[in-house]
Structure 1
Amino acid sequence: MSFQGYDKNFNIKDKVAIVTGGASGIGKAISELFLEKGAKVAIFDLKENVSDIAKEMNAEKAIGIYCDVTNNNSMDQAIQMAKNYFGKIDILVNCAGIALLDDAEKISDDYWQKTIDINLTGTFKMSQKIGNVMIEQGHGGKIINLASQAALIALDNHVAYCASKAGVIGMTKVLAYEWAQFKINVNAISPTVILTELGKKAWSGEKGEKAKKEIPLGRFGYPEEVAAVALFLASDAANLITGENIVIDGGNTIK
Protein backbone atom coordinates (compact mmCIF):
# COMPACT_ATOMS: atom_id res chain seq x y z
CA MET A 1 0.00 0.00 0.00
CA SER A 2 1.46 3.37 -1.02
CA PHE A 3 0.56 6.81 0.22
CA GLN A 4 -1.89 8.41 -2.20
CA GLY A 5 -1.37 11.98 -1.05
CA TYR A 6 -3.99 14.70 -0.70
CA ASP A 7 -4.87 18.10 -2.08
CA LYS A 8 -2.49 20.47 -0.30
CA ASN A 9 -4.94 23.31 -0.86
CA PHE A 10 -7.39 21.30 1.27
CA ASN A 11 -10.04 21.36 -1.41
CA ILE A 12 -12.95 18.97 -0.90
CA LYS A 13 -14.21 19.35 -4.45
CA ASP A 14 -17.42 17.49 -5.26
CA LYS A 15 -17.75 16.08 -1.74
CA VAL A 16 -21.25 16.33 -0.31
CA ALA A 17 -21.52 17.59 3.26
CA ILE A 18 -24.41 17.91 5.68
CA VAL A 19 -23.97 20.60 8.34
CA THR A 20 -26.55 20.67 11.13
CA GLY A 21 -27.09 24.10 12.66
CA GLY A 22 -25.49 25.36 9.46
CA ALA A 23 -27.49 28.57 9.03
CA SER A 24 -25.74 30.62 11.73
CA GLY A 25 -22.68 30.87 13.94
CA ILE A 26 -20.03 28.16 13.73
CA GLY A 27 -22.18 26.01 11.46
CA LYS A 28 -22.54 28.81 8.94
CA ALA A 29 -18.79 29.46 8.93
CA ILE A 30 -18.18 25.76 8.28
CA SER A 31 -20.78 25.68 5.50
CA GLU A 32 -19.25 28.74 3.83
CA LEU A 33 -15.70 27.37 3.96
CA PHE A 34 -16.76 23.96 2.66
CA LEU A 35 -18.49 25.67 -0.26
CA GLU A 36 -15.41 27.80 -0.93
CA LYS A 37 -13.33 24.61 -1.06
CA GLY A 38 -15.56 23.01 -3.66
CA ALA A 39 -18.00 20.93 -1.62
CA LYS A 40 -21.75 20.73 -2.06
CA VAL A 41 -23.49 21.47 1.22
CA ALA A 42 -26.89 20.58 2.66
CA ILE A 43 -27.58 22.99 5.50
CA PHE A 44 -29.89 21.51 8.13
CA ASP A 45 -31.40 24.05 10.53
CA LEU A 46 -34.51 24.98 12.50
CA LYS A 47 -34.61 28.43 10.92
CA GLU A 48 -37.67 28.80 8.71
CA ASN A 49 -35.62 30.75 6.15
CA VAL A 50 -32.83 28.14 5.95
CA SER A 51 -33.49 27.69 2.22
CA ASP A 52 -32.95 31.41 1.58
CA ILE A 53 -29.79 31.43 3.69
CA ALA A 54 -28.38 28.54 1.65
CA LYS A 55 -29.19 30.28 -1.63
CA GLU A 56 -27.39 33.41 -0.44
CA MET A 57 -24.29 31.31 0.28
CA ASN A 58 -24.28 29.51 -3.07
CA ALA A 59 -27.37 29.06 -5.22
CA GLU A 60 -25.83 26.18 -7.16
CA LYS A 61 -24.01 24.12 -4.54
CA ALA A 62 -25.96 24.74 -1.32
CA ILE A 63 -29.42 23.61 -0.27
CA GLY A 64 -31.18 24.60 2.94
CA ILE A 65 -33.45 22.03 4.60
CA TYR A 66 -35.53 22.45 7.75
CA CYS A 67 -34.47 19.82 10.29
CA ASP A 68 -35.16 19.19 13.96
CA VAL A 69 -32.44 16.91 15.40
CA THR A 70 -34.77 15.85 18.23
CA ASN A 71 -37.33 14.44 15.77
CA ASN A 72 -36.64 11.17 13.93
CA ASN A 73 -39.11 11.87 11.12
CA SER A 74 -37.69 15.34 10.56
CA MET A 75 -34.15 13.95 10.36
CA ASP A 76 -35.16 11.10 8.05
CA GLN A 77 -36.96 13.46 5.67
CA ALA A 78 -34.08 15.95 5.62
CA ILE A 79 -31.48 13.24 4.99
CA GLN A 80 -33.56 11.75 2.15
CA MET A 81 -33.99 15.20 0.58
CA ALA A 82 -30.24 15.84 0.72
CA LYS A 83 -29.44 12.42 -0.70
CA ASN A 84 -31.99 12.81 -3.49
CA TYR A 85 -30.66 16.26 -4.35
CA PHE A 86 -26.94 15.49 -4.33
CA GLY A 87 -26.92 11.73 -4.88
CA LYS A 88 -24.61 10.84 -1.98
CA ILE A 89 -23.32 11.96 1.43
CA ASP A 90 -19.59 12.11 2.20
CA ILE A 91 -19.32 14.37 5.25
CA LEU A 92 -21.45 15.11 8.30
CA VAL A 93 -20.79 17.99 10.69
CA ASN A 94 -22.95 17.90 13.82
CA CYS A 95 -23.06 21.55 14.81
CA ALA A 96 -26.64 21.93 16.10
CA GLY A 97 -26.58 22.68 19.79
CA ILE A 98 -28.08 24.57 22.71
CA ALA A 99 -26.85 26.07 25.99
CA LEU A 100 -29.44 26.31 28.78
CA LEU A 101 -27.63 27.41 31.91
CA ASP A 102 -28.49 27.37 35.61
CA ASP A 103 -27.09 26.39 39.00
CA ALA A 104 -26.79 22.62 39.40
CA GLU A 105 -28.97 22.59 42.52
CA LYS A 106 -31.94 24.17 40.76
CA ILE A 107 -31.65 23.39 37.04
CA SER A 108 -35.06 22.32 35.74
CA ASP A 109 -35.88 18.96 34.22
CA ASP A 110 -36.79 20.82 31.03
CA TYR A 111 -33.39 22.54 30.75
CA TRP A 112 -31.57 19.29 31.45
CA GLN A 113 -33.59 17.19 29.02
CA LYS A 114 -33.54 19.69 26.15
CA THR A 115 -29.76 20.01 26.46
CA ILE A 116 -29.25 16.24 26.38
CA ASP A 117 -31.82 15.75 23.62
CA ILE A 118 -30.22 18.28 21.25
CA ASN A 119 -26.52 18.19 22.09
CA LEU A 120 -26.03 14.49 22.76
CA THR A 121 -28.96 12.43 21.50
CA GLY A 122 -29.41 14.59 18.41
CA THR A 123 -25.72 14.27 17.57
CA PHE A 124 -25.85 10.51 18.04
CA LYS A 125 -29.04 9.96 16.05
CA MET A 126 -27.80 12.05 13.14
CA SER A 127 -24.46 10.22 13.22
CA GLN A 128 -26.23 6.87 13.33
CA LYS A 129 -28.48 7.70 10.39
CA ILE A 130 -25.70 9.17 8.24
CA GLY A 131 -23.33 6.41 9.34
CA ASN A 132 -25.76 3.87 7.91
CA VAL A 133 -25.91 5.82 4.64
CA MET A 134 -22.11 5.86 4.45
CA ILE A 135 -21.88 2.13 5.22
CA GLU A 136 -24.42 1.40 2.47
CA GLN A 137 -22.55 3.62 0.00
CA GLY A 138 -19.37 1.69 0.70
CA HIS A 139 -16.79 4.44 0.18
CA GLY A 140 -16.26 5.66 3.74
CA GLY A 141 -16.83 9.18 5.01
CA LYS A 142 -16.08 11.80 7.63
CA ILE A 143 -18.19 12.64 10.69
CA ILE A 144 -17.23 15.69 12.76
CA ASN A 145 -18.96 16.38 16.07
CA LEU A 146 -18.91 19.75 17.82
CA ALA A 147 -18.11 19.18 21.48
CA SER A 148 -16.70 21.95 23.72
CA GLN A 149 -14.03 22.85 26.23
CA ALA A 150 -16.95 22.30 28.61
CA ALA A 151 -16.49 18.58 28.02
CA LEU A 152 -13.05 18.80 29.65
CA ILE A 153 -13.34 21.37 32.43
CA ALA A 154 -16.01 22.50 34.88
CA LEU A 155 -17.85 25.71 34.00
CA ASP A 156 -20.17 27.49 36.41
CA ASN A 157 -23.90 26.99 35.62
CA HIS A 158 -23.02 24.55 32.82
CA VAL A 159 -23.88 21.19 34.42
CA ALA A 160 -26.21 19.99 31.63
CA TYR A 161 -24.04 21.46 28.90
CA CYS A 162 -20.83 19.96 30.30
CA ALA A 163 -22.50 16.56 30.65
CA SER A 164 -23.87 16.64 27.11
CA LYS A 165 -20.55 17.64 25.54
CA ALA A 166 -18.55 15.09 27.55
CA GLY A 167 -20.99 12.52 26.22
CA VAL A 168 -20.30 13.68 22.66
CA ILE A 169 -16.58 12.95 23.09
CA GLY A 170 -17.25 9.49 24.53
CA MET A 171 -19.68 8.72 21.73
CA THR A 172 -17.22 9.96 19.12
CA LYS A 173 -14.58 7.50 20.30
CA VAL A 174 -16.95 4.53 20.19
CA LEU A 175 -18.25 5.39 16.71
CA ALA A 176 -14.69 5.85 15.46
CA TYR A 177 -13.70 2.45 16.86
CA GLU A 178 -16.71 0.60 15.49
CA TRP A 179 -16.81 2.28 12.08
CA ALA A 180 -13.11 2.25 11.22
CA GLN A 181 -13.79 -1.02 9.40
CA PHE A 182 -16.03 0.96 7.03
CA LYS A 183 -13.39 3.69 6.52
CA ILE A 184 -15.56 6.22 8.35
CA ASN A 185 -13.50 8.69 10.38
CA VAL A 186 -15.27 10.17 13.40
CA ASN A 187 -13.71 13.08 15.30
CA ALA A 188 -14.74 15.89 17.63
CA ILE A 189 -13.82 19.56 17.94
CA SER A 190 -13.87 21.33 21.32
CA PRO A 191 -13.81 25.13 21.10
CA THR A 192 -13.58 27.73 23.83
CA VAL A 193 -15.98 30.69 23.70
CA ILE A 194 -16.48 31.53 20.03
CA LEU A 195 -17.47 35.03 18.98
CA THR A 196 -20.67 34.28 17.13
CA GLU A 197 -23.47 36.80 17.53
CA LEU A 198 -24.73 34.84 20.54
CA GLY A 199 -21.21 34.45 21.92
CA LYS A 200 -20.56 38.17 21.72
CA LYS A 201 -23.73 38.92 23.70
CA ALA A 202 -23.21 36.18 26.29
CA TRP A 203 -19.57 37.05 27.01
CA SER A 204 -19.55 40.85 26.74
CA GLY A 205 -18.34 43.26 29.39
CA GLU A 206 -16.69 42.31 32.68
CA LYS A 207 -17.72 38.64 32.43
CA GLY A 208 -15.89 38.26 29.12
CA GLU A 209 -12.80 40.15 30.22
CA LYS A 210 -12.51 37.97 33.32
CA ALA A 211 -12.88 34.80 31.24
CA LYS A 212 -10.23 35.90 28.75
CA LYS A 213 -7.72 36.36 31.57
CA GLU A 214 -8.05 32.62 32.27
CA ILE A 215 -7.01 31.78 28.69
CA PRO A 216 -3.21 31.68 28.16
CA LEU A 217 -3.50 33.23 24.68
CA GLY A 218 -5.78 35.90 26.14
CA ARG A 219 -8.68 35.85 23.71
CA PHE A 220 -11.78 34.04 22.54
CA GLY A 221 -12.07 32.31 19.17
CA TYR A 222 -13.71 33.12 15.85
CA PRO A 223 -16.09 30.87 13.89
CA GLU A 224 -13.64 30.79 10.98
CA GLU A 225 -10.99 29.21 13.23
CA VAL A 226 -13.32 26.33 14.07
CA ALA A 227 -14.24 26.01 10.39
CA ALA A 228 -10.56 25.64 9.48
CA VAL A 229 -10.21 22.61 11.77
CA ALA A 230 -13.45 21.12 10.43
CA LEU A 231 -12.10 21.50 6.89
CA PHE A 232 -8.89 19.69 7.83
CA LEU A 233 -10.82 16.83 9.44
CA ALA A 234 -13.13 16.60 6.41
CA SER A 235 -10.23 16.46 3.97
CA ASP A 236 -8.05 13.55 2.88
CA ALA A 237 -5.21 15.09 4.91
CA ALA A 238 -6.92 13.69 8.03
CA ASN A 239 -7.48 10.16 6.76
CA LEU A 240 -5.37 8.65 9.57
CA ILE A 241 -7.10 10.63 12.33
CA THR A 242 -10.13 9.09 14.01
CA GLY A 243 -11.59 9.07 17.52
CA GLU A 244 -9.80 12.30 18.41
CA ASN A 245 -10.97 15.50 20.08
CA ILE A 246 -9.21 18.59 18.78
CA VAL A 247 -9.29 21.41 21.31
CA ILE A 248 -9.41 25.03 20.11
CA ASP A 249 -9.24 26.99 23.34
CA GLY A 250 -6.14 29.19 23.44
CA GLY A 251 -4.66 26.84 26.04
CA ASN A 252 -7.54 27.18 28.50
CA THR A 253 -7.69 23.47 29.36
CA ILE A 254 -3.93 22.88 29.70
CA LYS A 255 -3.71 24.62 33.07
Structure 2
Amino acid sequence: MGFQGFDKNFNITDKVAIVTGGASGIGKAISELYLEKGAKVALFDLKDNVNDVAKKLNSENAIGVTCDVTNNESMDRAIEKVKTHFGKIDILVNCAGIALLDDAENISDDYWQRTIDLNLTGSFKMCQKVGKVMIAQGNGGNIINLASQAALIALDNHVAYAASKAGILGITKVLAYEWAQFDIKVNAISPTVILTELGKKAWAGEKGEKAKKEIPLGRFGYPEEVAAIALFLASDATNLMTGENIVIDGGNTIK
Protein backbone atom coordinates (compact mmCIF):
# COMPACT_ATOMS: atom_id res chain seq x y z
CA MET A 1 0.00 0.00 0.00
CA GLY A 2 1.36 3.42 -0.96
CA PHE A 3 1.77 6.45 1.24
CA GLN A 4 -1.63 8.02 1.90
CA GLY A 5 -0.45 11.24 3.54
CA PHE A 6 -1.59 12.48 6.94
CA ASP A 7 -3.54 15.30 8.55
CA LYS A 8 -1.24 18.31 8.40
CA ASN A 9 -3.34 20.11 11.00
CA PHE A 10 -2.23 17.49 13.54
CA ASN A 11 -5.78 16.65 14.54
CA ILE A 12 -6.22 13.66 16.82
CA THR A 13 -9.99 13.70 16.52
CA ASP A 14 -11.78 10.93 18.42
CA LYS A 15 -8.54 9.47 19.75
CA VAL A 16 -8.68 8.56 23.44
CA ALA A 17 -5.71 9.64 25.54
CA ILE A 18 -4.63 9.00 29.11
CA VAL A 19 -2.40 11.70 30.59
CA THR A 20 -0.87 10.93 33.99
CA GLY A 21 -0.14 13.96 36.14
CA GLY A 22 -2.90 15.60 34.13
CA ALA A 23 -4.26 17.99 36.76
CA SER A 24 -1.39 20.48 36.65
CA GLY A 25 1.77 21.61 34.90
CA ILE A 26 2.89 19.89 31.73
CA GLY A 27 0.23 17.19 32.01
CA LYS A 28 -2.55 19.75 32.14
CA ALA A 29 -1.11 21.63 29.15
CA ILE A 30 -0.96 18.41 27.13
CA SER A 31 -4.51 17.49 28.12
CA GLU A 32 -5.76 20.91 27.09
CA LEU A 33 -4.06 20.81 23.68
CA TYR A 34 -5.24 17.26 22.99
CA LEU A 35 -8.81 18.35 23.70
CA GLU A 36 -8.41 21.34 21.38
CA LYS A 37 -7.30 18.95 18.65
CA GLY A 38 -10.34 16.71 18.99
CA ALA A 39 -9.23 13.98 21.39
CA LYS A 40 -11.05 12.57 24.37
CA VAL A 41 -8.82 12.75 27.43
CA ALA A 42 -8.66 10.99 30.79
CA LEU A 43 -6.62 12.99 33.28
CA PHE A 44 -4.98 10.70 35.86
CA ASP A 45 -3.74 12.37 39.02
CA LEU A 46 -3.46 11.94 42.78
CA LYS A 47 -4.80 15.45 43.31
CA ASP A 48 -8.33 15.61 44.73
CA ASN A 49 -9.31 18.27 42.19
CA VAL A 50 -8.52 16.18 39.10
CA ASN A 51 -12.20 15.79 38.19
CA ASP A 52 -12.83 19.52 38.58
CA VAL A 53 -9.84 20.28 36.36
CA ALA A 54 -11.16 17.88 33.71
CA LYS A 55 -14.64 19.42 33.77
CA LYS A 56 -13.24 22.93 33.40
CA LEU A 57 -11.12 21.87 30.44
CA ASN A 58 -13.97 20.13 28.64
CA SER A 59 -17.07 18.83 30.39
CA GLU A 60 -17.99 16.56 27.47
CA ASN A 61 -14.71 15.01 26.33
CA ALA A 62 -12.56 14.98 29.47
CA ILE A 63 -12.78 12.94 32.64
CA GLY A 64 -10.67 13.17 35.78
CA VAL A 65 -9.63 9.93 37.44
CA THR A 66 -7.88 9.66 40.79
CA CYS A 67 -4.91 7.39 40.22
CA ASP A 68 -1.73 6.47 42.07
CA VAL A 69 0.81 5.20 39.52
CA THR A 70 2.75 3.48 42.30
CA ASN A 71 -0.22 1.26 43.11
CA ASN A 72 -1.24 -1.59 40.80
CA GLU A 73 -4.87 -1.74 41.93
CA SER A 74 -5.29 2.01 41.55
CA MET A 75 -3.91 1.89 38.01
CA ASP A 76 -6.06 -1.09 37.06
CA ARG A 77 -9.23 0.63 38.32
CA ALA A 78 -8.38 3.87 36.53
CA ILE A 79 -7.63 2.17 33.21
CA GLU A 80 -10.84 0.13 33.42
CA LYS A 81 -12.79 3.34 34.01
CA VAL A 82 -11.36 4.82 30.80
CA LYS A 83 -12.24 1.71 28.81
CA THR A 84 -15.78 1.76 30.19
CA HIS A 85 -16.28 5.49 29.62
CA PHE A 86 -14.60 5.95 26.23
CA GLY A 87 -14.47 2.39 24.89
CA LYS A 88 -10.79 2.32 23.93
CA ILE A 89 -7.32 3.78 24.56
CA ASP A 90 -5.19 5.16 21.72
CA ILE A 91 -2.61 7.34 23.46
CA LEU A 92 -0.75 7.24 26.78
CA VAL A 93 1.31 10.15 28.08
CA ASN A 94 3.36 9.44 31.20
CA CYS A 95 3.70 12.85 32.84
CA ALA A 96 3.40 12.03 36.54
CA GLY A 97 6.70 12.60 38.29
CA ILE A 98 8.55 13.91 41.30
CA ALA A 99 11.86 15.71 41.88
CA LEU A 100 13.36 15.05 45.32
CA LEU A 101 16.80 16.62 45.19
CA ASP A 102 19.90 16.23 47.32
CA ASP A 103 23.62 15.70 46.80
CA ALA A 104 24.74 12.16 46.08
CA GLU A 105 26.56 11.53 49.35
CA ASN A 106 23.58 12.54 51.47
CA ILE A 107 20.44 11.58 49.54
CA SER A 108 18.18 9.46 51.72
CA ASP A 109 16.87 6.01 50.94
CA ASP A 110 13.38 7.52 51.05
CA TYR A 111 14.15 10.18 48.44
CA TRP A 112 15.82 7.61 46.19
CA GLN A 113 13.07 5.01 46.42
CA ARG A 114 10.16 7.43 46.05
CA THR A 115 11.78 8.90 42.93
CA ILE A 116 12.38 5.51 41.32
CA ASP A 117 8.95 4.19 42.32
CA LEU A 118 7.06 7.11 40.79
CA ASN A 119 9.18 8.31 37.88
CA LEU A 120 10.52 5.01 36.61
CA THR A 121 8.49 2.08 37.90
CA GLY A 122 5.19 3.98 37.75
CA SER A 123 5.80 4.98 34.14
CA PHE A 124 6.76 1.45 33.15
CA LYS A 125 3.74 -0.10 34.86
CA MET A 126 1.44 2.33 33.05
CA CYS A 127 3.15 1.44 29.76
CA GLN A 128 2.78 -2.26 30.51
CA LYS A 129 -0.88 -2.08 31.50
CA VAL A 130 -2.00 0.27 28.73
CA GLY A 131 0.24 -1.51 26.23
CA LYS A 132 -1.65 -4.74 26.88
CA VAL A 133 -4.92 -2.93 26.18
CA MET A 134 -3.53 -1.53 22.92
CA ILE A 135 -2.22 -4.93 21.84
CA ALA A 136 -5.62 -6.51 22.52
CA GLN A 137 -7.41 -3.77 20.59
CA GLY A 138 -5.24 -4.44 17.54
CA ASN A 139 -5.23 -0.84 16.28
CA GLY A 140 -1.76 0.29 17.28
CA GLY A 141 -1.23 3.31 19.48
CA ASN A 142 1.15 5.97 20.75
CA ILE A 143 2.96 6.04 24.09
CA ILE A 144 4.83 9.17 25.11
CA ASN A 145 7.13 9.15 28.13
CA LEU A 146 8.37 12.31 29.82
CA ALA A 147 12.09 12.02 30.41
CA SER A 148 14.37 15.02 31.02
CA GLN A 149 17.59 16.75 30.05
CA ALA A 150 18.77 15.18 33.33
CA ALA A 151 18.83 11.84 31.47
CA LEU A 152 21.52 13.25 29.18
CA ILE A 153 23.67 15.64 31.21
CA ALA A 154 24.80 15.94 34.82
CA LEU A 155 22.77 18.28 37.04
CA ASP A 156 23.82 19.04 40.60
CA ASN A 157 21.72 17.31 43.30
CA HIS A 158 19.78 15.31 40.68
CA VAL A 159 21.25 11.82 41.14
CA ALA A 160 17.96 9.99 41.83
CA TYR A 161 16.02 12.08 39.32
CA ALA A 162 18.69 11.55 36.64
CA ALA A 163 18.72 7.81 37.25
CA SER A 164 14.93 7.63 36.93
CA LYS A 165 14.86 9.65 33.72
CA ALA A 166 17.76 7.78 32.12
CA GLY A 167 15.78 4.63 32.88
CA ILE A 168 12.81 6.12 31.03
CA LEU A 169 14.94 6.35 27.87
CA GLY A 170 15.92 2.69 28.20
CA ILE A 171 12.33 1.60 28.71
CA THR A 172 11.21 3.70 25.74
CA LYS A 173 13.68 2.01 23.38
CA VAL A 174 12.93 -1.55 24.50
CA LEU A 175 9.14 -1.10 24.36
CA ALA A 176 9.42 0.55 20.94
CA TYR A 177 11.40 -2.42 19.68
CA GLU A 178 9.15 -5.09 21.19
CA TRP A 179 5.85 -3.42 20.29
CA ALA A 180 6.64 -2.26 16.75
CA GLN A 181 5.02 -5.51 15.57
CA PHE A 182 1.74 -4.20 17.03
CA ASP A 183 2.15 -0.73 15.46
CA ILE A 184 2.52 0.81 18.93
CA LYS A 185 4.95 3.72 18.75
CA VAL A 186 6.85 4.58 21.94
CA ASN A 187 8.78 7.85 22.16
CA ALA A 188 10.12 10.19 24.83
CA ILE A 189 10.40 13.93 25.43
CA SER A 190 13.30 15.44 27.39
CA PRO A 191 12.66 19.04 28.46
CA THR A 192 14.87 21.55 30.21
CA VAL A 193 13.41 23.46 33.16
CA ILE A 194 9.75 24.12 32.39
CA LEU A 195 7.98 27.07 34.01
CA THR A 196 5.16 25.28 35.73
CA GLU A 197 4.17 26.60 39.14
CA LEU A 198 6.67 24.22 40.71
CA GLY A 199 9.33 25.10 38.15
CA LYS A 200 8.95 28.81 38.79
CA LYS A 201 9.46 28.32 42.52
CA ALA A 202 12.34 25.86 42.19
CA TRP A 203 14.31 28.03 39.77
CA ALA A 204 13.51 31.52 41.02
CA GLY A 205 16.15 34.16 41.65
CA GLU A 206 19.90 33.84 41.17
CA LYS A 207 19.80 30.06 40.72
CA GLY A 208 17.48 30.40 37.73
CA GLU A 209 19.35 33.32 36.18
CA LYS A 210 22.60 31.37 36.36
CA ALA A 211 20.98 28.30 34.80
CA LYS A 212 19.49 30.31 31.94
CA LYS A 213 22.94 31.65 31.05
CA GLU A 214 24.01 28.05 30.38
CA ILE A 215 21.22 27.61 27.81
CA PRO A 216 22.13 28.83 24.30
CA LEU A 217 18.63 30.20 23.68
CA GLY A 218 18.80 31.91 27.06
CA ARG A 219 15.51 30.88 28.63
CA PHE A 220 13.49 28.10 30.22
CA GLY A 221 10.51 26.46 28.55
CA TYR A 222 6.75 26.68 28.93
CA PRO A 223 4.30 23.81 29.39
CA GLU A 224 2.60 24.65 26.10
CA GLU A 225 5.88 24.09 24.23
CA VAL A 226 6.19 20.57 25.62
CA ALA A 227 2.51 19.97 24.83
CA ALA A 228 3.19 20.82 21.19
CA ILE A 229 5.80 18.05 21.00
CA ALA A 230 3.39 15.65 22.71
CA LEU A 231 0.79 16.49 20.07
CA PHE A 232 3.31 15.86 17.30
CA LEU A 233 4.17 12.45 18.77
CA ALA A 234 0.50 11.51 19.15
CA SER A 235 -0.38 12.44 15.58
CA ASP A 236 -0.18 10.47 12.34
CA ALA A 237 2.78 12.66 11.33
CA THR A 238 5.05 10.41 13.41
CA ASN A 239 3.76 7.05 12.21
CA LEU A 240 7.30 6.05 11.18
CA MET A 241 8.94 7.30 14.38
CA THR A 242 9.50 5.09 17.39
CA GLY A 243 12.09 4.64 20.13
CA GLU A 244 13.19 8.25 19.85
CA ASN A 245 13.80 11.02 22.39
CA ILE A 246 12.96 14.60 21.44
CA VAL A 247 15.04 17.07 23.45
CA ILE A 248 13.43 20.47 24.08
CA ASP A 249 16.06 22.34 26.05
CA GLY A 250 17.06 25.52 24.21
CA GLY A 251 20.29 23.81 23.18
CA ASN A 252 21.44 23.06 26.71
CA THR A 253 22.65 19.52 25.90
CA ILE A 254 24.52 20.37 22.67
CA LYS A 255 27.41 22.08 24.41
Shorter-chain TM-score: which interval? over 0.9
Q: 3-state DSSP class of the match of 2:42? A: strand
In 1, the alpha carbon distance for the partners of 2:7 and 2:22 equals: 25
What letter is aligned with 1:13? T
Structure 1 length normalisation: TM-score? 1.00
2-structure distance, mates of 1:28, 1:227: 9
2:105 aligns to what? 105
Alignment of 1:50-129 (within 5 A): 50-129=50-129
Structure-1 residue corresponding to 2:33: 33
Tell me if 1:214 matches 2:214: yes
Aligned partner letter, 1:189: I
Give, in whole Å, the separation in 1 of the partners of 2:2 and 2:90: 23
Matches within 5 A, 1:194-205: 194-205=194-205
Aligned to 2:154: 154
Amino acid at match of 1:20: T
Q: Which amino acid aligns with 2:176?
A: A
State the identity %.
Answer: 84
Runs of 4+ in structure 1 off by over 4 angstroms are none
**d(CA) in 2 for partners of 1:70, 1:5:** 40
Q: Which amino acid aligns with 2:13?
A: K
Partners of 1:139 and 1:179 lie apart in 2 by 12
Alignment partner of 1:92: what SS? strand
Secondary structure of 1:120 counterpart: helix
Structure 1 distance, partners of 2:5, 2:92, is 22
Q: Which residue of 1 aligns with 2:134?
A: 134
Letter in 1 for 2:103: D
Local SS of the residue matching 2:114: helix
Q: Distance in 1 between matches of 2:67 and 2:170?
A: 25
Number of residues of Structure 1 aligned to a counterpart in Structure 2: 255
5+ long unaligned stretches in structure 2 = none
- Distance in 2 of aligned mates of 1:77 and 1:110: 27
Q: List gaps (5 residues or longer) in structure 1.
A: none
Secondary structure at 1:174's aligned position in 2? helix
> Partner of 2:7 in structure 1?
7
SS class of match (1:27): helix
Aligned partner of residue 254 in structure 1, secondary structure:
coil
1:5 aligned partner, one-letter code: G
SS across alignment from 1:195: coil
C-alpha deviation, 1:241, in angstroms: 0.5
TM-score (norm 2): 1.00
Q: Residue type matched to 1:85 in 2?
A: H
Amino acid corresponding to residue 123 of structure 1 in structure 2: S
**CA distance in 1: counterparts of 2:129 and 2:236, whole angstroms:** 23
SS in 2 for 1:186: strand
Q: Deviations over 1:30-67 (max 9, x none)?
A: 00000000000000000111111100000000000000
